[in-house]
Structure 1
Amino acid sequence: MTDVKKPSLKERVKSAMKGAISAVANTLQLDFFAKFKGEDQREIDFPIDITGETVWATQQQMAALFDVGIPAISKHISNVYGEGELERAATLSKLEIVQSEGGRSVTRSVDHYNLDMILAVGYRVSSKKATEFRKWASQVLKGYIKDGYALNGRRLSSDPAALLRLAQEVRALRTSEKAIYEQVREAFKMSAADYDGSSEEARLFFARSQDAFHYAASENTAAQIVLARCDAAKPNMGMTTAGNVMPTFADAKVAKNYLTSEELRTMQILGEQWLLYTESMSMRGKPLTMARLLAKLDELIGVHEYPVFPGYSGALAPRRDQHVREQLEIYRKLSRNLPAA
């Protein structure tokens, strides 16, 4: 097998920084803030972008949040971009802030990074503070934003009815399956002692773990879900996440797009339980192999009395792709009044 030379850290960082000039400078008027209060009583206000459904943080804020230096934060951000984990255009924005300089207030345009980047940096720092923030953000913050609540302490304190509604919504909160599974993927990467992101073993590892979650929720693998539910005769081809637009092939072959709210909830519950386990192992310095991680995942699913994935009986991906193409062609013919994707 021919070894593929990986780009050096310097090359990846240089490549990541190339797009800096093309970053769009947006000036957003953010009137609401989410206050994070750590166990050590440190408090940081994060501006909320209700329209974009995210929060923003400067490198300085992330350094304070994770208790590391700004150069370390900058390095992690460069690596995230360099490795293609996140896209610069989707996670970076220039926001105006007012700061004190020489005894006077000055407005500066400063780079801010959204919640996806904050969490990506947090996973790489892999500290107690990062874990603390991850729990706060995934369990509370995204739900608040999704439901349109302004997390301004003064506002909630002065409006008991709003506070009560907020408490009721928090109890009913459901983190998106995508967010949870991305966190699970990061936990797998951090915990597996033999993990190599470029290897075929790692690809199979993630495919197997993903199917374990899908099977627990629906008793079907990802490919089986698509084969059973992708149907041109149904609205949006059977997808539960699509809007009134023509589905694309990329959308139609993703199993999670067909899951019910109950199935997504099951994946969320198992994902959260799995994160607690991997965090516990990481905090105690106990590395695990990919095989051991998969075995533990099956154990956890069984303990919660969900169906445990029995293993593959054959390759279904080619059949899935062909089925999606056929159904998509039929759906487009039946929906000529809709614009093609």
Structure 2
Amino acid sequence: MDIKKSEIIMYQTEDGKVKIEVAMEEETVWLSQAQMCELFQKSKSTISEHISNVFKEGELGKKSVVRDFRITAADQKSYDVNHYNLDVIISVGYRVKSHRGTQFRIWATQRLKEYIVKGFAMNDELLKRFGGGSYFDELLERIRDIRSSEKVFWRKVLDIYATSIDYDPKVETSILFFKIVQNKMHWAAHGHTAAEIIYKRANAEKSHMGVLNFIGAKPTKAEVTIAKNYLNEEELTILNRIVTAYLELAEIQAIRRKPMYMIDWIEKLDEFLKMSGSDILAHADKISNEIAKDKACLEYQKYKNKINNEVSEVEKHFLNTIEEIEEKIK
């Protein structure tokens, strides 16, 4: 890596906002202690003390964030100099007491606050200026995944359905409409309805009960009853793109205020799926949601009983420690 490309510029705009420009290579930036002294306007001994405390307190592991780079000094001789990556630079920025350190914390706190309140923080200028590269593709994929989550999708579908001429919030056709749309999309993505995918793939004998998408170390009871959580990466990508495209199409129809009945929305979805070369679901659900949910809950109970009887990681470490002690005694 060309270490000369690593650079961080901190400055204040005319409106008083703090901005930071980072020139990165291989998705990080490396600065020497001398460069950090310049960035935060503090002495080398102060920066060195902060770096030492970052490692001493276990905030970061030294092995992964420090690297030697050969640089040419003023005497024209080459030396190996320790450089620290972005993780260390950020940690030092939160510790150092200087005007520059304060500026950094103001900037970082604004980003953190935005993330906590909104659930995301974006550098609009960077994405626009460089087209975002792979980051922009990742951002779009994550947005698609969020839009296809049942809670978000349900709300968007209801918003669209509410523009239908025959909309009546008191009747249960809203739930039926959602089920039809959801099942058609699932069928187009992987050839099963939502209930079928749960019923076929929920299996206590499989790793994580066959669930591929979940939060935490193990799937929860709620997560095993969601069809999307059983999909592999390719199936999930197709479903996310179908959902995104359908919602965009539906929103265009709504913006144009074109009169639409509930059946019209279904027909529009079928037209879109045909255009994309997908199979169209033309039959009723062979497996009801209730049967699928009951099967998933039954398998989940078996799965819970199974993992409860397994030795946990903590127990494994404890047993290994006991064995090591016994070996030393011998």
| Conservation of the 8 A alpha-carbon contact between 2:166 and 2:262 | yes
Aligned-residue sequence identity (percent) comes to 22
Match status 1:319 vs 2:291? yes
Match status 1:169 vs 2:245? no
Match status 1:304 vs 2:276? yes
CA distance in 2, matches of 1:282, 1:244: 38
CA distance in 1, matches of 2:291, 2:106: 48
In the alignment, which residue of structure 2 is the partner of 1:106?
A: none
In the alignment, which residue of structure 1 is the partner of 2:225?
A: 253
CA distance in 2, matches of 1:31, 1:287: 48
| Conservation of the 8 A alpha-carbon contact between 2:185 and 2:242 | yes
Determine which of 206, 214, 217 is the counterpart of 1:234.
206
Per-residue displacement from partner, 1:70-129 (whole Å, max 9, x unpaired)?
A: xxxxxxxxxxxxxxxxxxxxxxxxxxxxxxxxxxxxxxxxxxxx36xxxxxxxxxxxxxx
Q: Secondary structure at the match of 1:249?
A: coil
Q: In 2 relative to 1, CA 30–317 (structure 1 residues): closer, same or farther, beyond 3 Å?
A: farther
| Conservation of the 8 A alpha-carbon contact between 1:230 and 1:237 | yes
In the alignment, which residue of structure 1 is the partner of 2:240?
A: 268
Give the AA of the match of 1:205: F
| Conservation of the 8 A alpha-carbon contact between 1:194 and 1:290 | yes
CA distance in 2, matches of 1:274, 1:191: 15
| Conservation of the 8 A alpha-carbon contact between 1:230 and 1:252 | yes
Q: How does 1:3-82 map to 2 (within 5 A)?
A: 31=107, 48-49=111-112, 53=115, 56=117
Shift of 1:245: 4.0
Shift of 1:302: 1.0
| Conservation of the 8 A alpha-carbon contact between 1:187 and 1:279 | no
- TM-score by length of structure 2 reads 0.53
Shift of 1:241: 1.4
Q: What's the C-alpha RMSD, in Å, of the aligned pairs? A: 3.2
Q: In 2 relative to 1, CA 30–220 (structure 1 residues): closer, same or farther, beyond 3 Å?
A: farther
Shift of 1:203: 0.8
Shift of 1:307: 1.4
Q: Secondary structure at the match of 2:132?
A: helix
CA distance in 1, matches of 2:285, 2:227: 18
Determine which of 129, 144, 147 is the counterpart of 1:179.
147
| Conservation of the 8 A alpha-carbon contact between 2:144 and 2:241 | no
Q: In 2 relative to 1, CA 244–199 (structure 1 residues): closer, same or farther, beyond 3 Å?
A: same
- TM-score by length of structure 1 reads 0.51
Number of residue pairs matched by the alignment: 201
In our comparison, the structure showing a higher alpha carbon Rg is: 2
CA distance in 2, matches of 1:315, 1:330: 21
Q: Secondary structure at the match of 1:195?
A: coil
Shift of 1:169: 2.1
Gaps of 5+ in 1: 1-28, 34-46, 57-113, 116-141, 158-162
Structure having the higher helix fraction is 2
| Conservation of the 8 A alpha-carbon contact between 2:196 and 2:287 | no
Q: In 2 relative to 1, CA 248–272 (structure 1 residues): closer, same or farther, beyond 3 Å?
A: closer
CA distance in 1, matches of 2:226, 2:234: 17
Q: Secondary structure at the match of 1:220?
A: coil
Shift of 1:165: 9.0
In the alignment, which residue of structure 2 is the partner of 1:222?
A: 194
Gaps of 5+ in 2: 1-104, 314-330
CA distance in 2, matches of 1:165, 1:276: 22
Q: How does 1:117-156 map to 2 (within 5 A)?
A: 145=121, 151=123, 153=125, 156=126
CA distance in 2, matches of 1:300, 1:194: 22
CA distance in 1, matches of 2:211, 2:298: 16
In the alignment, which residue of structure 2 is the partner of 1:15?
A: none
Give the AA of the match of 2:195: A
